[in-house]
């Protein structure tokens, strides 16, 4: 049976519970243990799939097709353990499950209450995969004191009470603000946060304290005394210039040792941190830098493209260069010429998105990259816009557009991108209608693709059979393949049945690839995705030509 580590947060949100959880998972792996990381979110949406990127950042998609919180991306990037749909749950999903059971009569006519029915549902979720790994790390979203989080806090309190002693510990992440005027590091917010936690029956075994610098011995002892933890279990989480330095930084602070001590694991296995030492070395010792323009429609919030930002960093790690990504709102190009904004960049990336806003600007970015010979990577909508650009400007397909945003009258445009009505998932056919509910109805999760032997993308992958994660409702129409290939845009990756285009590339371009899937979701600092490694390599070569 697994040991459980529950990670909670206090004082303020967005302190980095997800990163702390991911880094701890990596450190436990370095000591030879197996881990699984889970996220319990208090919001009432069933999942983040229908939420705006401005509300919740990106939606991270798992191989099994679940739309989950972006923290699962951190978990995968740091541990290499593929996330599953059972690694993420929200209040909305919990309540939905409870109500479905009530409607079926599973509760035999009883009055349905938060305790025990909702808390029991949460505990059932926690038990999934109990015998699969050595440690389960469960992060509770939000901060202690949030009213919507109370059922989760109560559930983990009950869960820890029901397990044998020594199988569950609690790690609490807080903020130690530094008051410049007085030159003091203040512990009172953390003390109050722990007091709030203890008032609902939870006591932290480990305190992880975000701060700008070291925690002096006096403040560390004060925190230990008033928060009832050992001084060596007060861990400083100092600001870092790269999140990938976190495992080594937390190890230096003794986080992994404090966790093993809390479980009574002695002697503890020695850690092998070679993987992270290599990553940090590649970050610190670079051979120049490259400028990459990310032309998107949610650029005001970088978390909307979190996995893309990190995958670019991974590409830089692989090539020992610093990737300087600059986020450009694609709507600008609908009012102004794209050239002044894009000149001087070594590569252009156009990411995914939904809806019409900013799409004409993405088309202009693809045209600029094609005509200027600039390395280009189009992802999902970014691929579709590259196809529309090729159809309009090279293949001369009149009024080429996407059915997603080209208007209600089908006679007013040529739909080279259409609403996907059916596809094959495993051995089953999946069908969809435009009128279907939005949540969970896209082509989601891992799908196979076959690559053309000798193509640029086959060279990048080093193989011709791949599996990648998807999240989209619209697809390039294979019926236009011949006309587009005659114009020079090659369909070099297709679904196993040959009906769905997965990858396009310009044959006469140094590096121009569009993919229907999301390669950024599978990239890791110690195993960069081949497309991002190749894209940054092309940008590095371009930088030497400029």
Report the CATH number at residue 344: 3.40.50.880
Q: What is the pLDDT of residue 440?
A: 56
Number of domains in the chain: 2
Q: What is the pLDDT of residue 546?
A: 54
Domain with 222 in it: what CATH number? 3.40.50.300
Strand order in the sheet with 135-140: 88-90, 35-41, 135-140, 3-9, 168-175, 206-211, 234-238
3-state class of 443 per DSSP? strand
Residue 169 CA from chain centroid, whole number: 26
Q: Given this model, what pLDDT does residue 419 score?
A: 80
Q: Which residues contact 74 (CB under 8 A, 6 or more apart)?
A: 18, 19, 21, 22
SS (H, E, C) 505-529: EECCCCCEEEECCCHHHHCECCECC
The verdict on 26 and 161 lying in the same domain is yes
Residues 302 and 343 in one domain: yes
484 and 351 in a common domain: yes
233 plus 327 within the same structural domain: no
The rounded distance, in Å, linking the Cα atoms of 537 and 521 is 19
Same domain, 352 and 471: yes
Identify whether residues 200 and 344 lie together within a single domain.
no
Q: Is 138 designated active site? A: no
Catalytic residue among 139, 253, 475, 520: 520
Examine the residue annotation and report whether 380 is marked as an active-site residue of this protein: yes
Q: Other C-beta atoms within 10 Å of 402: how many?
A: 23
* End residue of a domain, out of 215, 247, 279: 279
CB atoms within 10 A of CB 364: 23
Catalytic residue among 172, 314, 518, 529: 518
Residues 146 and 295 in one domain: no
Kindly state whether residues 105 and 195 are assigned to the same domain. yes
Name 407's Cβ contacts closer than 8 Å, sequence gap at least 6: 413
- Are 270 and 296 in a shared domain? no
Domain of residue 376: give its range.
Answer: 287-543
Residue-by-residue DSSP string for 264-329: T--SPPPP--HHHHHHHHHHHS-S-EEEEEEEES-TT-GGGGHHHHHHHHHHHHHHT-EEEEEEEE
Which phi and psi (to 5°) does residue 182 adopt? -100, -10
Would you write out the chain's pLDDT as a tens digit for each of its 546 residues?
A: 899 999 999 988 888 899 999 999 999 999 999 999 999 999 888 888 778 776 767 899 999 999 998 999 999 999 999 999 999 999 999 999 999 999 999 989 899 999 999 999 999 999 999 999 999 999 999 999 899 999 999 999 999 999 999 999 999 999 999 888 888 889 999 999 999 999 999 999 999 999 988 889 999 999 999 999 999 999 999 999 999 999 999 999 999 999 999 999 998 899 999 999 999 999 999 999 999 999 988 877 778 899 999 999 999 999 999 999 999 999 998 888 888 889 999 999 999 888 778 789 999 999 999 999 999 999 999 999 999 999 999 999 988 888 887 665 566 688 888 887 765 666 666 666 665 655 557 889 999 999 999 999 999 999 999 999 999 988 999 999 999 999 999 999 999 999 999 999 999 999 999 999 999 999 999 999 999 999 999 999 998 865
Of 279, 309, 326, which residue is a domain's last?
Answer: 279
Of 380, 404, 472, 502, which one is the catalytic site residue? 380
């Amino acid at each position: 049976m697994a040991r459980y580590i529950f990670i909670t947060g206090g004082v303020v949100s967005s302190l980095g519970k997800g990163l702390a959880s991911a880094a701890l998972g990596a450190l436990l792996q370095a000591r030879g243990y197996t881990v699984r990381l889970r996220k319990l979110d208090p919001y009432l949406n069933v999942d983040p799939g229908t939420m705006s990127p401005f509300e919740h950042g990106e939606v991270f998609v798992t191989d099994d097709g679940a739309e989950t919180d972006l923290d699962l991306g951190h978990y995968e990037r740091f541990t290499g353990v593929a996330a599953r749909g059972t690694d993420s749950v929200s209040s909305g999903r919990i309540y939905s499950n409870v109500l479905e059971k009530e409607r079926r009569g599973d509760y035999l006519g009883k009055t349905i209450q938060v305790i025990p029915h909702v808390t029991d549902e949460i505990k059932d979720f926690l038990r999934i995969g109990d015998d699969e790994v050595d440690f389960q790390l469960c992060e509770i979203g939000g901060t202690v004191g949030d009213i919507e989080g109370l059922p989760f806090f109560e559930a983990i309190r009950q869960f820890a009470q029901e397990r044998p002693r020594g199988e569950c510990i609690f790690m609490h992440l807080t903020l130690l603000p530094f008051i410049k005027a007085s030159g003091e590091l203040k512990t009172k917010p953390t003390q109050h946060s722990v007091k709030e936690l203890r008032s609902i029956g939870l006591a932290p075994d480990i305190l992880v304290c975000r701060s700008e610098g070291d925690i002096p011995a006096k403040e560390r002892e004060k925190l230990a005394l008033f928060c009832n933890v050992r001084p060596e279990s007060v861990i400083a989480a100092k600001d870092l210039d790269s999140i990938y330095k976190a495992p080594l930084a937390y190890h230096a602070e003794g986080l992994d040792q404090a966790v093993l001590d809390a479980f009574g694991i002695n002697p503890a296995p020695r850690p092998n941190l070679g993987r992270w030492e290599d990553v940090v070395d590649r970050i610190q010792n670079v051979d120049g830098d490259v400028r990459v323009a990310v032309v998107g429609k949610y650029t005001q919030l970088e978390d909307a493209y979190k996995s893309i930002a990190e995958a670019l960093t991974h590409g830089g790690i692989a090539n020992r260069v610093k990737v300087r990504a600059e986020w450009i709102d694609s709507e600008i190009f609908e009012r102004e010429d794209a050239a002044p904004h894009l000149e001087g960049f070594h590569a252009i990336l156009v990411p995914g998105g939904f809806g019409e806003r900013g799409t004409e600007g993405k088309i202009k970015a693809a045209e600029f990259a094609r005509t200027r010979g600039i390395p280009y990577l189009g992802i999902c909508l970014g691929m579709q816009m590259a196809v529309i650009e090729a159809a309009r400007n090279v293949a001369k397909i009149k009024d080429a557009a996407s059915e997603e945003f080209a208007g209600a009258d089908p006679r007013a445009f040529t739909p080279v991108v259409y609403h996907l009505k059916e596809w094959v998932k495993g051995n089953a056919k999946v069908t969809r209608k435009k009128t279907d509910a939005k949540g969970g109805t896209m082509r989601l999760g891992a799908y196979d693709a076959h690559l053309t032997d000798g193509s640029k993308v086959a060279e990048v992958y080093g193989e011709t059979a791949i599996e990648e994660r998807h999240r989209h409702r619209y697809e390039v129409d294979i019926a236009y393949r011949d006309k587009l290939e005659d114009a020079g845009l090659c369909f070099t990756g297709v679904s196993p049945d040959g009906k769905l285009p997965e990858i396009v590339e310009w044959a006469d371009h140094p590096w121009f690839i569009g993919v229907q899937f999301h390669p950024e979701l599978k990239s890791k600092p110690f195993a960069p995705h081949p497309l991002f490694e190749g894209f940054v390599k092309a940008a590095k070569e371009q930088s030497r030509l400029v």
